[in-house]
Structure 1
Amino acid sequence: MDDLTANIATVIVGIVALCITGWTMIAVRLYQRQPPLAFDPRREAPWGLWDLLLVLALAFGPSLAVGVYFQPLLGSANPSSEALKELLRWNSFVSVISIFGMITYFQFRPQASLQDVGLNLRGLGHQFGVGIACFMLVAPVVFAIQAMFVLLLKFESKHPLIELLQDDPSAFYVCAFLAVVVAPISEELVFRGFLQGWLERLPLFRADMDSFLLGRRQTSEEDDLLYCETNRDTRRVALMPIIISSTVFALMHFSHGPDPIPLFFLALALGFVYQRTHRLLPCIIVHACLNGTTMLLLWLSLDELGK
């Protein structure tokens, strides 16, 4: 075992130890009837179903269009690695455009702001700390679930990026950019910020159909305070948006072998963090660190194969 592999193994052991310590602390807090994470209320999400559908089109439409365009080149049994890399480059480009499109839409939408989604610069240090702590708590659990399916039940992960890298390791940097930067930002915006944010208002919803479809156009400060207090006191309702958004998130990865199952548990953790903090940065950090760890392990395995 070389020094790099030994150092990584030491880091993994340290993360597992911190994970066990963290879950023990959470168990103690729950036993003392204290929440694992402080609740930060938010005002009611001002967007409606129409806005959500438009966001989904902005998020996934360009990537689907690129996939359709490249389909004739990829339709053969063994598409060339150059065609696959070109697809990845275009997919990266349009995904970045999609992210800016979603952010711009809600920045300029009437009665909405990026703070409503969870993009808030206040308390960046705390948000970063929550993200790192959550990663250390969740990552060993997610990887353990995935390992159980892969090693014990013989279900292989079939992520297209992994399959591409096994055939052509030169595409590693493009794949890493997609997995560690683009996917966490885009998916957390859609599934936690927009979808779960919209779902959180539904159990307390008392408006007409126009407001349901188009969102609330005007709210008073008293309305926002009332919503925050009602949302704070309605503990049972908080699970529904988390479970629904997590299920949709997992189903979006249905073609990746057993991955939807560990990803569902990851999404539950991300949904809980978002529901408590109403900040996207911690969720993005967890998602990026998890994907980054996967890419690092994949790079090490490819490096071993190349020796």
Structure 2
Amino acid sequence: MLQTLQARIEITLLLGLISVFICYFAWKKKFFSLPKDDSKEIQISLPHVILAFVIYLFSLIFIGPLLIKAISFKEPYLSEVALISYSNFLSLASASVFLILFYKKKYHSFDKSIHLTPNKNFLSDILVGFIAWVITIPLVLFLSQFLDLLTLVLFNVKKVPEQVAVRFLKSTMDSPLFFSLALFSVVFFAPFLEELLFRGFLQTWFKKFLGKYVAIFASSICFAFFHYSKHQGVGNISIIGALFPLAFFLGFIYERQRSLLAPISMHAIFNAMSVVNLIFFE
């Protein structure tokens, strides 16, 4: 037990040192510079933000389950994993469609503020997303390990409950079809939707009143707590704590590039690498 604890402490310290080194190197290369404030150009209002989140939640709570009821009526013997896989995929797909339609309806107002449409430097946005992932991942792992250790010491919890999304992915791994649906949801739909909502709408609206730095911080807190689930138990401590720096960097590169493609790319890479870790290393 003591040897295992010592090994975990050593890994945590190593990740912390790696994170400090990479962040220092990025700072020396002037990666952390932001362009001038553009808050005067923002045309996003609070009703826009609320409506965007309502569309998302409505799709998850009503549209997906209704479609599943229709499917289960025709196929009454589908397993629970099958129903959850279809429901999750269809909910996120419908939310994406409705939000894109909402965006297109207000295109001229939204695109000047949210920057969803790829610009001429879209390859640069993707590259910056990858670089930001390289910078962020040691910090995320360090905080996750540190908070897991803290949970062990405070609550004597030897195995911290996994994130709900991770459990869902694991439950689909015996079926190529359901795993493919889950993979597409996690790597494509989730990054697009969450970045459009939390960076595109929420952070942009915060920036209108609070400035870009406070806006990044505030939207990051909202993003981290959005992933809270009672089913994660004390695991919420490390999950929310580790997601905050990820969200902060997502918000930062959104402001840095003035393009939603940058955080979408970083988020997709983060989720994809998490799936790779799940398949090959757990």
TMscore range, shorter length: 0.7 to 0.9
Counterpart for residue 194 of structure 2: 187
Percent of paired sites with the same residue: 23
2:213 maps to 1:239: yes
1:63 shift after superposition = 0.7
Counterpart for residue 139 of structure 1: 137
2:46 maps to 1:49: yes
- Among 225, 248, 271, the alignment partner of 1:251 is 225
**Structure whose residues are more often helix by fraction:** 2
Counterpart for residue 28 of structure 2: 28
**Shift in alpha-carbon separation, 1:192–1:157, aligned structure 2, 3 A:** farther
1:287 shift after superposition = 0.8
Amino acid at match of 1:39: P
Q: Contact 1:161 / 1:175 at 8 angstroms: preserved in 2?
A: no
Counterpart for residue 94 of structure 2: 97
- Among 149, 161, 164, the alignment partner of 1:160 is 164
1:182 shift after superposition = 0.9
In 2, Cα distance between equivalents of 1:165 and 1:101: 25
- CA-based RMSD: 3.1
Q: Contact 2:68 / 2:83 at 8 angstroms: preserved in 1?
A: no
Higher normalized contact order (CA 8 Å, seq sep 6+, divided by chain length): 1
Counterpart for residue 126 of structure 1: 124
1:94 shift after superposition = 2.6
Counterpart for residue 117 of structure 1: 114
- Extract unaligned runs of 5+ from structure 1: 1-15, 73-79, 204-236, 303-307
Counterpart for residue 8 of structure 2: none
Amino acid at match of 2:160: E
**Shift in alpha-carbon separation, 1:166–1:121, aligned structure 2, 3 A:** closer
In 1, Cα distance between equivalents of 2:281 and 2:107: 50
1:19 shift after superposition = 6.5
- Among 268, 271, 276, the alignment partner of 2:251 is 271
**Shift in alpha-carbon separation, 1:127–1:166, aligned structure 2, 3 A:** closer
In 1, Cα distance between equivalents of 2:277 and 2:252: 27
In 2, Cα distance between equivalents of 1:47 and 1:144: 36
1:168 shift after superposition = 4.6
Normalised to the residue count of structure 1, the TM-score between the two structures is 0.69
Amino acid at match of 2:124: H
1:252 shift after superposition = 0.8
Larger radius of gyration: 1
**Shift in alpha-carbon separation, 1:104–1:162, aligned structure 2, 3 A:** same
In 2, Cα distance between equivalents of 1:52 and 1:27: 33
1:52 shift after superposition = 0.9
Normalised to the residue count of structure 2, the TM-score between the two structures is 0.75
1:84 shift after superposition = 2.9
